[in-house]
């Protein structure tokens, strides 16, 4: 079920990006997309580590770290 939610959010982001008309709007959507993709990747990596409540903490930390890293890499 989570996979469908993630795919829905990514699909909506792509539709919104297609509707962006100005360079500023496209940059905002690119930054949001980069942050979301980084957060998903970080959460996936964090979820593979630890066990029990430690896994939850690493998943959340991975999501935050991945989102920040991706946003910086995209120049946002």
pLDDT digits (tens, 9 = 90+) for 2-15: 666 667 766 776 66
Q: Which of 18, 10, 16, 11 shows the shortest CA–CA distance to 40?
A: 10
Per-residue pLDDT at 62: 92
pTM given for the model: 0.67
Q: What is the pLDDT of residues 27-60, one digit of tens each?
A: 777 788 888 889 989 999 998 988 888 888 999 9
Taking only the tens place, the pLDDT of each residue in 63-72 is 999 999 988 8
| Distance from C-alpha of 16 to C-alpha of 75, rounded to nearest angstrom | 20
Residue 56 near residue 28, CB atoms below 8 Å = no
Query: Could you tell me the residue ranges of all domains in the chain?
Result: 50-76
Burial class of 54 by CB neighbour count within 10 A (0 to 12, 13 to 18, 19+) = exposed
CA distance 41 to 6: 12
């Amino acid at each position: 079920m989570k996979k469908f939610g993630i795919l829905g959010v990514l699909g909506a982001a792509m539709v919104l990006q297609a509707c962006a008309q100005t360079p500023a709007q496209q940059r905002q959507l690119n930054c949001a997309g980069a942050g979301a993709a980084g957060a998903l990747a970080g959460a996936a990596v964090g979820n593979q580590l630890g066990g029990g409540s430690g896994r939850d903490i690493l998943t959340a930390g991975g999501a935050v770290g991945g989102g920040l890293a991706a946003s910086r890499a995209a120049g946002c």
